[in-house]
């Protein structure tokens, strides 16, 4: 199984993904590491990405999914997957039964709070509004509603319960 942790910046994809993968003994893939350098520079400058910018990044994630599937390796991958067509594109890399999206959903206030505390990340907090405007909430995903007081362990436990793993 491959789990794609999705959501806007600040939802905790990386932290939760690393912990989930560690607990399950699965491979972890940080989707942000697959961004082209030009995308990282745009985000560092506070410039929102366009669909054209995201294309090569989503293609790289799709290739990673295919490689993991061919190796029969379970994994957790982080990817904002903001639009339905992005998710459909990732589904097209493998049969949908092999992928499970988990949507980490939080209020804008919780997201802003997390982003202002985060240090050393290229994604600027100023881009949150553009991500929220782009987001098409998934209808075919496990949704985990996050609060300001949830711990990583609690969120991982919720995901494991929903996935039955």
pLDDT tops 60 at residue 122: no
> 113: pLDDT confidence band, cut at 50, 70 and 90?
confident
95 pLDDT tier (thresholds 50, 70, 90) = low
Residues 6+ apart with CB under 8 A from 102: 3, 4, 5, 6, 141, 142, 143, 144, 159, 162, 163
Q: How far is residue 91's CA from residue 110's CA, in Å, rounded to a whole number?
A: 29
Q: Residue range 130-158: average pLDDT? A: 93
Q: How confident is the model at residue 119 (pLDDT cuts 50, 70, 90)?
A: low
- Rounded to 5 degrees, φ, ψ at 127 are -85, -5
Total count of domains within the chain: 1
- Domain of 41: which CATH number? 3.40.50.300
pTM across the whole model = 0.89
* Lowest pLDDT segment from 21-25, 44-48, 119-123: 119-123
Average pLDDT over residues 109-132: 73
Please check the confidence at residue 45 and state whether its pLDDT lies above 90: no
Parent domain of 61: 2-163
């Amino acid at each position: 199984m491959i789990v794609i942790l999705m959501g806007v910046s600040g939802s905790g994809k990386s932290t939760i993904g690393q912990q989930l993968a560690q607990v399950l003994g699965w491979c972890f893939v940080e989707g942000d590491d697959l961004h082209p350098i030009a995308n990282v520079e745009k985000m560092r400058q506070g410039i929102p990405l366009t669909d054209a910018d995201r294309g090569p990044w989503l293609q790289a994630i799709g290739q990673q999914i295919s490689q993991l599937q061919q190796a029969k390796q379970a994994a957790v991958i982080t990817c904002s997957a903001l639009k339905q067509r992005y998710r459909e594109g990732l589904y097209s890399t493998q049969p949908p039964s092999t992928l499970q999206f988990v949507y980490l959903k939080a209020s804008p206030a919780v997201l802003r709070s997390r982003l202002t505390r985060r240090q050393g990340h290229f994604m600027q907090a100023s881009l949150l509004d553009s991500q929220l405007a782009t987001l098409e909430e998934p209808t075919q995903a496990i949704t985990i509603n996050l609060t300001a007081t949830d711990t990583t362990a609690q969120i991982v436990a919720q995901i494991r319960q929903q996935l039955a793993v």
